[in-house]
Homo-oligomer: A and B are copies of this chain.
Amino acid sequence: MSKPKAVVLVSGGLDSTTVLAMAQQQGFDCYTISFDYGQRHRAELNSAANIAKVMGALSHKVISLDLRAIGGSALTDDSLDVPETETKEGDIPITYVPARNTVFMSIALGWAEVLGAQDIFVGVNAVDYSGYPDCRPEYIEAFEAMANLATRAGVEGNRLTIHAPLMKMGKDDIVQWGTANGVDYSLTVSCYQANDEGRACGKCDSCRLRRDGFIQAGLQDPTRYQ
């Protein structure tokens, strides 16, 4: 019997790579999708493609989409700097890209429909990204409800599920699970401003969270820093 198909959003980072391993462990044939949306560096796209290959995704797609045309984030607007100090509790960070998760999951939804997949995996996390509105559990639930009305699946009685297995995990729990399950984190790039070789700055919010995760988990940090 063939395995069920799942679409997995991969960014080349630590979280989504862990999610890919989780989806595979749950018995899915995984189809990975990345987005070339005008982000600051190509290293994460290269990393995502490499991870998809190494981990045996059945197909890996890179979708081009110009989010720079709408701007509004330090990640998609060169006139805004990526902050190197921590964002104040309760504030939405400037690295938040308006509606990014919604746009990416919508495109993944389209591909899932074409593939006949009823499962989409995404690495959103409410613990580390408490300031991002589109990383909350109630948001994922609302997206799933919408997705079930948006597509053929809804009409034909098949149920679409959005899996966000990292939602309530701390970075230390994530790297602990991944390390125990064979994820090679040296392949992943989390930094908001990595260089062309995928080496991390070690200063941005994303680098800080990642480094602290390995420290708290008591694991060696395999990140390649600049």
Interface residues, chain A, with chain B CB atoms under 8 Å away? 61-67, 69-72, 92, 96-103, 106-107, 109-111, 113-114, 133-134, 136, 138-139, 142-143, 145-147, 149-152, 154-155
Query: Complex formed: what's the CA distance from A133 to B146 in Å?
Result: 11
Residues of B within 8 A of A102 (CB): 106, 109-110, 146-147, 150
Query: Complex formed: what's the CA distance from A143 to B149 in Å?
Result: 9
Contact A146 B139, beta carbon cutoff 8 Å: yes
> Which secondary structure dominates where chain A touches chain B?
helix
Contact A66 B63, beta carbon cutoff 8 Å: yes
Query: Complex formed: what's the CA distance from A71 to B107 in Å?
Result: 11
Q: Which residue of B98, B110, B134, B155 is within 8 Å of A133 (Cβ)? A: B155
Query: Complex formed: what's the CA distance from A61 to B71 in Å?
Result: 12
Copies in the complex: 2
Query: Complex formed: what's the CA distance from A147 to B146 in Å?
Result: 10
Residues of B within 8 A of A66 (CB): 63-65
Please name 6 further chain A to chain B contacts, defined as beta carbons within 8 Å, in addition to the given A71-B114, A98-B152, A133-B154, sorted by A numbering: A67-B110, A98-B109, A99-B151, A134-B150, A136-B149, A139-B146
Contact B149 A146, beta carbon cutoff 8 Å: no
Contact B110 A70, beta carbon cutoff 8 Å: yes
Contact A99 B103, beta carbon cutoff 8 Å: no
Q: Which residue of B92, B146, B149 is within 8 Å of A155 (Cβ)? A: B92
Query: Complex formed: what's the CA distance from A180 to B166 in Å?
Result: 54
Given contacts A61-B69, A139-B146, contact A133 B107 (CB under 8 A): no
Contact A107 B113, beta carbon cutoff 8 Å: no
Residues of B within 8 A of A99 (CB): 106-107, 109-110, 113, 150-151
